[in-house]
Chain A
Amino acid sequence: MSSLLAAVSADADLMVAQNVFFALISLVMVIAAVRVVTTGNVVHAALWLVVVLAGVAVQFLFLGAEFVAVTQVLVYIGAVIVLFLFGVMLTKASMGDDESVVNERRGMAGMVGLLLFAVMAIALFDSFGDKRVVIDEPQSVNTVSDSIFSQYIVPFEAVSVLLLAALIGAIVLARKD
């Protein structure tokens, strides 16, 4: 981490403001993500998830992918969180503190998470130590849509069929009969 900080501060191209905002937002995101997986209240977990998803949208803006950021806000914060809250209501998933956090798997799972992060961090520093992303201008919606409807038309159609299948499947599964 200290080498990363050194590399960031050695960034002489004066992107100080961006880096400070990046650090603040990623700190908030990591704290919120930890709260999502540790809080005992299901509704609180969903609301912390909103913070993480909004942070991810800001990261997309940092990377110049504004259409993805807008889609993230619309689909995730607009639709997915509402679905989660409806699910919590419909299943009465214990609004108060439950014992779901306190179980014997916690130490093992924490170790798995930390080891995974350590391995990934080493691999990332090894492979992409000083690579820089240079964002001259944000990707316009034009280029994204041109690419979707020409080069990636087959995956796009596959995703449409997948969404239709998921819609029908959800109705069939949740129907009362």
Chain B
Amino acid sequence: MLLNQFLLLAAALFCIGVYGVLVRRSAMLVLMSIELILNAVNINLVAFGALTDDVGGSVFALFTIAVAAAEVGIGLAIVLLMYRNRRSIDLAQVDLLKG
């Protein structure tokens, strides 16, 4: 199979994720788009690992999965805190640091 098949699929997922991060206003949906981006990265890591016949790609994909799990945990805690303080998770209203 061509390497480009996997890389193009990952690029498509990455760009859809970027679109989601830019366009969504609910913090939950932005976190889901970030998951899309991280999965695209994982496909790339495993594909290059298979290309070079090296196990490092799989190992780093596993590390990325662990980091993504930590990121979702912290992210959801922050969203929960935001909801508790402001009764809304609309990111357009989170502008406390705006000058």
The reply on B94 being an interface residue by CB < 8 A is no
Cβ 8 A contact of A155, one of B9, B24, B63, B78: B63
Given A59-B43, A64-B50, A174-B81: A100 and B26 within 8 A (CB)?
yes
Interface flags for B16-47 (1: CB within 8 Å of A; 0: not) read 11111011111011011101100100110011
A152-177: contact bitstring with B at CB < 8 Å (1 yes, 0 no)? 10011001001101110110011000
Query: Who on chain A is nearest to B9 by CB?
Result: A26
Whether the pair A113, B18 counts as a contact (CB closer than 8 A) is: yes
**Contacts A144-B58, A147-B59 given; does A45 touch B19 at CB 8 Å:** no
- Given known pairs A87-B28, A100-B25, A129-B4, the reply for A80 and B19 (CB within 8 Å) is no
A30 / chain B contacts, CB cutoff of 8 Å = 9, 12-13, 16
> Would A105 and B22 count as touching, CB distance under 8 A?
yes
Q: Which bucket holds chain B's interface residue count?
A: 35 or more
Complex CA–CA separation, A50 to B31 (angstroms): 14
CB-CB under 8 A for A124 and B8, given A83-B72, A84-B72, A147-B55: yes
Check B3–A128 contact: CB distance below 8 A.
Answer: yes
**Known contacts A67-B58, A163-B70, A174-B80; A29/B22 CB under 8 A:** no
A162-B70 in contact (CB<8A): yes
Counting CB contacts under 8 A, is B73 at the interface?
yes
Question: A172 CB to closest chain B CB, in angstroms?
Answer: 8
Contact of A133 among B6, B28, B33, B72 (CB under 8 A): B6
Residues of B within 8 A of A15 (CB): 1
The answer to whether A113 touches B4 (Cβ under 8 A) is no
Cross-chain contact B42 with A56 (CB below 8 angstroms): yes
A174 and B59 contacting across the interface, CB-CB below 8 Å? no
Measured between beta carbons, the chain A residues less than 8 angstroms from B57 are: 65
Given A4-B2, A112-B18, A133-B1, residue A121 in contact with residue B8 (CB < 8 A): yes
Q: Can you identify 15 A-B contacts, CB atoms within 8 angstroms?
A: A67-B62, A68-B42, A68-B46, A68-B58, A68-B65, A80-B69, A113-B19, A114-B15, A124-B7, A128-B4, A130-B2, A132-B2, A159-B66, A166-B74, A170-B73
Identify the A interface with B (CB < 8 A): 4, 7-8, 11, 15, 18-19, 22, 26, 29-30, 33-34, 36-37, 42, 45-46, 49, 52-53, 56, 59-60, 62-65, 67-68, 71-72, 75-76, 79-80, 83-84, 86-88, 90-94, 98-101, 103, 105-106, 108-110, 112-114, 116-117, 120-121, 124-125, 128-133, 135, 139, 143-144, 147-148, 151-152, 155-156, 159, 162-163, 165-167, 169-170, 173-174
